Amino acid sequence: MTRPNIQIDDEVREMTEAEYEALLATGWTLEGTDETPTAG
């Protein structure tokens, strides 16, 4: 699966594998989840 892009100022690039793993660890998903706010 293609990793999402990351932007730092004007530079847009594909995430590294390590960055992508860190993003997934936050609970982020590409497809989205229930948008209703829930307690963190």
Partner 1 sequence: MSVKTFTSEILTSSDTNTYLANSGLVYVTSATIGSAVSSVTVSSAFSATYDAYRVVVVGGTGSVTTGVAVGMAGGPATGYYYGLVYATYASTVVSANVNTNNGANWQFVGGITAGQASSFVFDIYNPFLSLYTTIHNGSYAGGATAGTGNGYLAAATSFTGFVIAPQSGTLTGGTITVYGYRKA
Within 10 A of 23 (CB to CB), how many other CB atoms are there?
16
Window 1-40: residues binding partner 1 (CB under 8 A): 4-10, 12, 15, 23, 26-33, 35-40
**Residue 1: CB minimum distance to partner 1, A:** 13
**Residue 13: CB minimum distance to partner 1, A:** 9
Q: Are 28 and 15 in contact (CB under 8 A)?
A: no
C-alpha to C-alpha distances, 13 to 5, 21, 23, 28, nearest whole angstrom: 5, 16, 15, 18
Contact residues: partner 1, CB under 8 A:
4-10, 12, 15, 23, 26-33, 35-40
